[in-house]
């Protein structure tokens, strides 16, 4: 099973205000690497009190962090052409798309799916499908609302879903769970539900 898990934390309620980005790289059914970048958002030094209460990242912690454009130089080749998962993918894909457009940076081409939707299909009847409850149910320890940790936790849930459905590849898992993918490209953003936003 090969895929990438993506997670963002934002400085404000604006989508294009990422202050942290995490990627978990899964190859052959194992989490091979987790990358985490603190980011100095364009809104710096303003951070919303609400978002700080969620993730604990403060303006002074990113004062010397790279801007998103510098982080994107590393992340773009990893994401381009990949299969990507995010827990509540609508949020993370909106952050990525909005940030790339506002910074006039190249958009990658990849397909993506939501691990919340996957968990609903594989483990129906749970009271909650947030990352915290799902990880607690499967004894996955992590520090919630830090991007690298959240990305790795989402990746491990996908791998457990693969075991639960006895599937060896991401393609088989998506087919077995009857889960549709969305897609991002320089031309369009297509959600798993079929909504298409033209970007080119």
Count of domains for the chain: 1
pLDDT in tens, 76-128: 999 999 999 999 999 999 999 999 999 999 999 999 999 999 999 999 999 99
Q: Write out residues in the chain with pLDDT < 70, as ranges.
A: none
Place of tokens 């990422």: 18
| Strand 18-27, strand 30-38: pairing | antiparallel
- Write out the residue range of the structural domain in which residue 99 sits: 3-198
Query: CATH number, domain at 110?
Result: 3.30.420.10
Question: Would you state the pLDDT for residue 44?
Answer: 97
Q: Number of helices (H) and strands (E) in the chain: give both, helices first.
A: 7, 8
CA angle 144, 2, 173 (to 5 degrees): 85
Residues with Cβ < 8 Å from 180, sequence gap 6 or more?
Answer: 113, 174, 192, 193, 194
d(CA 72, CA 82): 15
pLDDT for the residue numbered 6:
98
Q: How far apart are CA 25 and CA 152, in angstroms?
A: 8
pLDDT at 200: 72
């Amino acid at each position: 099973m090969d895929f990438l898990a993506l997670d963002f934390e934002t400085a404000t309620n604006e989508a294009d205000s990422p202050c942290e980005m995490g990627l978990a790289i899964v190859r052959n059914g194992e989490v091979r690497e987790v990358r985490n970048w603190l980011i100095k958002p364009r809104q710096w030094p303003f951070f919303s009190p609400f978002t700080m209460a969620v993730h604990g990242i403060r303006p002074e912690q990113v004062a010397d962090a790279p801007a998103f454009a510098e982080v994107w130089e590393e992340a773009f080749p990893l994401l381009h052409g990949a299969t990507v998962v995010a827990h509540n993918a609508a949020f993370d894909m909106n952050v990525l798309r909005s940030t790339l457009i506002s910074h006039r940076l190249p958009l990658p081409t990849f397909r993506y799916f939501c691990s919340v939707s996957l968990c609903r299909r594989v483990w129906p009847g749970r009271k909650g499908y947030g990352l915290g409850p799902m990880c607690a149910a499967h004894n996955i320890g992590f520090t919630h609302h830090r991007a690298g940790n959240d990305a790795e936790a989402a990746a491990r849930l996908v791998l457990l879903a693969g075991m639960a459905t006895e599937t060896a590849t991401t393609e088989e898992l998506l087919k077995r769970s009857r889960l549709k993918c969305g897609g991002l490209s320089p031309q369009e953003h297509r959600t798993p539900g079929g909504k298409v936003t033209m970007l080119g």
